Amino acid sequence: MKSALFTGAAVTLGLFLASIGPAQASPTDPPSTAAQQPTAQARQHGIAKDGDAYMGWLQNTTTSSAPAVMAPAATVEGIDVSSHQGNVNWAAQWTAGKRFAYVKATEGTSYRNPYFAQQYNGSYNVGMIRGAYHFATPNTSSGATQANYFASNGGGWSRDGKTLPGALDIEYNPYGATCYGLSQSAMVSWVRDFLNTYKARTTRDAVIYTNLDWWTRCTGNSTAFNATNPLWVARYASAPGTLPGGWPFHTFWQYSSTPIDQNRFNGDQTRLVALANG
């Protein structure tokens, strides 16, 4: 998401976020850890500092690039955004046919997207079904700690038909070792810790955003979650391709980053509403 163009109860959350505006540090925030420094490669992709990571930041150099094909009838188009997009023109995105959006809420345990309120509430207000995502940094704290931080800072859920379950963005590390210094078994344990904690907080199984290459390298292509957690696969090509982790099908597919991250739901609008309702 590098283009510059652009729960508790959902109502309560929306009012709260709108009231605080851009996220600022507060006395209740956990203390910041030492800032991680982006790698040279990450800097080339617009990640200038700790917290700047976004979904699919390395995808266009690790998967084949091809124009998106026309969507079959039983799909719904959407986008995902982060602070890189700033204030989004949601009316324009609706006119362009987008019907759902995922918004970066948090990263690690010390970053909150300063544009979260405008992006999360704005997408909802134009009629989109929206959700929040967390960029994982498994080397900085436990899965449970990060799941709690996410759930408390925008990643909540309510059965209002317009709020999707939170998503765990688990992918290439923009600050160092690809697998964050964890073994494959340790990574699987970290992911399980996050997912179990998130479900305890929200009652929902979080969506897992990843790609075949990273998941294979860093979890050993674990099949531990394919029966419980919806898959959001990243592959910039004309088809989702081979799915990671033995998932029998994908729920979301991120297929392009032009001119903003493009996503497709694997089903019609009624199924998207059903996912939102749990």
What is the rounded CA–CA span in Å between residue 74 and residue 180? 37
Of the candidates 50, 52, 107, 169, the residue annotated as catalytic is: 169
* Predicted local confidence at residue 44, as pLDDT: 81
CATH number of the domain residue 44 falls in: 3.20.20.80
Active site residue 171: yes
Answer yes or no: are the C-beta atoms of 79 and 260 closer than 8 Å.
yes
* Predicted local confidence at residue 42, as pLDDT: 84
> DSSP labels for 162-214?
SBPPPEEE----TTS-TTTT--HHHHHHHHHHHHHHHHHHHSSPPEEEE-HHH
* Predicted local confidence at residue 30, as pLDDT: 41
Contacts of 80 (CB under 8 A, 6+ apart): 1, 55, 101, 102, 103, 104, 133, 254, 261, 263
Q: Which H/E stretch holds residue 17?
A: helix 10-20
Please report whether residue 1 resides in a domain. Answer: no
What is the rounded CA–CA span in Å between residue 193 and residue 33? 20
Please report whether residue 168 resides in a domain. Answer: yes
Please report whether residue 221 resides in a domain. Answer: yes
Domain span at residue 56?
Answer: 10-20+36-277
Answer yes or no: are the C-beta atoms of 197 and 214 closer than 8 Å.
no
Task: Read off φ and ψ for residue 176, nearest 5 degrees.
Answer: 170, -140
Please report whether residue 231 resides in a domain. Answer: yes
Q: Tens digits of per-residue pLDDT, 101-149?
A: 999 999 999 999 999 999 999 999 999 999 999 999 999 999 999 999 9
Active site residue 80: yes
Active site residue 77: no
Please report whether residue 44 resides in a domain. Answer: yes
3-state secondary structure of 127: coil
Please report whether residue 131 resides in a domain. Answer: yes
Please report whether residue 31 resides in a domain. Answer: no
Of the candidates 171, 205, 213, 261, the residue annotated as catalytic is: 171
Contacts of 85 (CB under 8 A, 6+ apart): 1, 3, 4, 5, 6, 115, 119, 260
Radius of gyration of the chain (CA): 17
* Predicted local confidence at residue 55, as pLDDT: 85
Of the candidates 80, 107, 205, 261, the residue annotated as catalytic is: 80
Domain count, the chain: 1
Longest dimension (CA), the chain: 49
* Predicted local confidence at residue 10, as pLDDT: 39
Please report whether residue 27 resides in a domain. Answer: no
- Digit-by-digit pLDDT tens for the chain (278 residues) are 443 333 333 333 343 333 333 333 333 334 445 789 989 888 888 888 899 888 886 885 444 444 444 455 589 999 999 999 999 999 999 999 999 999 999 999 999 999 999 999 999 999 999 999 999 999 999 999 999 999 999 999 999 999 999 999 999 999 999 999 999 999 999 999 999 999 999 999 999 999 999 999 999 999 999 999 999 999 999 999 999 999 999 999 999 999 999 999 999 999 999 999 99
* Predicted local confidence at residue 6, as pLDDT: 33
